[in-house]
């Protein structure tokens, strides 16, 4: 039987929030079967738990922000991506501020934290959400959709008018039957443009951003001295974000995601549209690992 997984031990790290600029300490803890991923604000007089669920996403400007009873947790997508990429079903995430630390702008530091804690199989079957019919949402020329597929596949295209990005790949498809999340996705960093920084900071965003936690571009080039980690790092990061956003369904997916110019807002609209249709998803388990489609089996069991 393919089993649910949690962490073997508690692990902590500290950093700053990308948008708030606040220092924050994060602690990942093991959780019982069927808990899912649950965030906890421990800096409040009465700690507040917020499950990592699509219906609790309340803000989507440049990040996915969970909101419950007025309490917010910003920028959950990179950690959610790492947890999904390493097949962790259940974990508690304690925070002493309103935003997760941005670390280096990718999911890789969170992967390392999970590896440090270790992953433990639990005595409960791993539950997948199988997409049973196509659901699509759009906003002008932007769109995102989920459709049936016996595995886990993502395709994404972007359209940025910038010389560096135009020279890179602006469309990509990843099938996890053939692709390693750890090697091909996790290290891709978030990116931004110098001409937007002042406006973002005037709006109270990107207060903790810099060359150590984002790929920054001026009008012509990448400003980071070390350059890019991948020639197409920009679109790989969009995939990283999408994996994190999709994991807010609460269980790993069995299906195909495709999108053009989508971001956190449209990703969340898609999840809400899918959840609103009772016949669009079904929960499935696999008694024998060999019966599990290759793409989801790899994400469900990979580690290290």
> Annotated catalytic sites, by residue?
264
Strand ranges in the chain using DSSP code E only, listed in sequence order:
3-7, 11-16, 23-30, 37-41, 48-51, 57-59, 65-68, 71-73, 91-95, 119-125, 128-131, 135-139, 142-147, 152-157, 171-175, 191-193, 215-217, 253-260, 281-284
Report H helices in 126-232.
163-167, 181-184, 194-202
Q: Which two tokens stand for residue 169?
A: 């790949």
The answer to whether the Cα torsion of 192, 196, 197, 203 is positive or negative is: negative
d(CA 211, CA 175): 31
Q: Residue 7 pairs with which residues in a beta bridge?
A: 119
What are the distances in angstroms from CA 114 to CA 84, 118, 288? Answer: 11, 6, 26
d(CA 228, CA 224): 8
Q: Mapping DSSP to helix (H, G, I), strand (E, B) and coil, where does residue 23 land?
A: strand
d(CA 74, CA 99): 4
């Amino acid at each position: 039987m393919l089993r649910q997984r949690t962490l073997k031990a508690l692990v902590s790290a500290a950093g700053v929030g990308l948008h708030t600029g606040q220092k924050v300490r994060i602690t990942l803890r093991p959780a019982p079967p069927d808990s899912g991923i649950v965030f906890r604000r421990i800096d409040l007089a009465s700690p507040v738990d917020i499950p990592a669920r699509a219906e609790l996403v309340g803000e989507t400007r440049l990040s996915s922000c969970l909101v419950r009873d007025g309490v917010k947790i910003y920028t959950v997508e990179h950690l959610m991506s790492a947890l999904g990429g390493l097949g962790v079903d259940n974990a508690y995430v304690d925070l002493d501020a309103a935003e997760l630390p941005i670390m280096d702008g990718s999911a890789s530091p969170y992967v390392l934290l999970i590896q440090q804690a270790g992953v433990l199989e639990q005595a409960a079957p791993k539950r997948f959400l199988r997409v049973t019919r196509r659901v699509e949402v759009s906003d002008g020329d932007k769109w995102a959709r989920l459709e049936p597929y016996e595995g886990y596949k993502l395709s994404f295209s972007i359209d940025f008018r910038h010389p560096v990005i135009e020279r890179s790949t602006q469309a990509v498809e990843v099938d996890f039957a053939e692709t390693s999340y750890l090697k091909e996705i996790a290290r891709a960093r978030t990116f931004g443009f110098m001409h937007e920084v002042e406006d973002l900071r005037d709006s109270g965003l990107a207060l903790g951003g810099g060359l150590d936690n984002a790929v920054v571009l001026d009008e012509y080039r990448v400003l980071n001295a070390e350059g890019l980690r991948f020639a197409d790092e920009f679109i790989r990061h969009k995939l990283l974000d999408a994996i994190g956003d999709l994991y807010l369904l609460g269980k790993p997916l069995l299906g195909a995601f495709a999108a053009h110019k989508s971001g956190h807002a449209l990703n969340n609209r898609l999840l809400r549209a899918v959840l609103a249709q009772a016949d669009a998803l079904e929960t499935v388990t696999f008694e024998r690992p060999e019966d599990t489609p290759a793409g989801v089996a790899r994400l469900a069991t990979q580690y290290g």
